[in-house]
Homo-oligomer: A and B are copies of this chain.
């Protein structure tokens, strides 16, 4: 059994929009044990779209198509499906009634082009859209069962979850031929992709047919282990086995094996003690506070951040001494130590975490080039400060890696792990 995914629309084809729908659909299909043969994107052109549907109808058992179900003249997917199946487009009473009801509910007049969304290929079954006006539909073309869904991501996701996946599970995923899928994600910080790859290269094929994939979300890398087969217990055991091999090679850099972000891991550690945190940020400009407060419930352990972009603010708000600033410069172990102590004192928290660095493009010197960051941490029995260097010359990349490094420093102290040994040399 094999599925194909088809994305329609000029905006995908011309590169105006990155097609994230196909990845979402592929991941959901793999989860229920349905492998995918191809993704195809095609523009709003009737002949070409009908060709793509006919060809997929010959190759695949299941087709999931997104986009082109709306009211505008560009929305021609139902027409293309009718052409590919050799049937007419005709008003579908269920779909029409649903659209009329939708417009009535919101007191909006129903235009002819809106009503047209209820015209489906003869023989198609409508799939009602709980969160929008354009109904989806399912039908056979060639030997393939096609599911046509709206292209708006949240509408597509809702219909996939509520309708398509249950329908596919009922139809294809039962009995002894059912395939299972298991996965595990190890998230790490401190190595570039090339170095992770070097450490894992001999594991390309591991026992039990576990696939190892790498996904870089700079500066974090996710190593994804996945396995697919008939026996779910064997799959889980094979994944755990492979995970142990991967951990042997990169374990010291892994901060989560359950998909948590660094700020979620740090938040859970602070909430678990319980302990409170205040920040003092310079070059990161507020990014660390933003990330910490992305976690619901962070008000339980996070007091705030003092973003002192100017040196005057470092003195006035954090009590950094003018002498220290003059003697060592704003990017120094001495200054971040005082910044961390200052924000801890001002906010009366258990921990103070401070960052000062050179994000670029300007501001670098021979001694402290762009990519230099100093991290200070002050807490119960801790007064830590260290500077390090990341070899990137992009301002946003540096802000991101500096923020990650600061949070990782705190995480390592909270779990009593070894100090960081990030290794980006030669990148």
Contact = CB atoms under 8 A, between A and B. Distances in A.
Interface of A: 7, 10-20, 22-28, 30, 36-43, 48, 52, 71-74, 106, 201, 204-205, 211, 213-215, 224, 226, 279, 281, 283-290, 292-294, 296-299, 302-310, 312-313, 316-317, 346-348, 359-362, 395-396, 399, 426
Nearest to A403: B290
Contacts of A286: 279, 281, 285-290, 293, 305, 307
Contacts of A204: 72-74
B23 A18 contact: yes
A316 B278 CA distance: 14
B10 A15 contact: no
Nearest to A347: B313
Contacts of A12: 23, 39
Contacts of A214: 11
A325 to B, nearest CB: 15
A36 B22 contact: no
Contacts of A362: 296-297
A313 B308 contact: no
A38 B28 CA distance: 23
A364 B347 CA distance: 25
Contacts of A41: 22, 38-40
Contacts of A14: 26-27, 30, 36, 213, 226
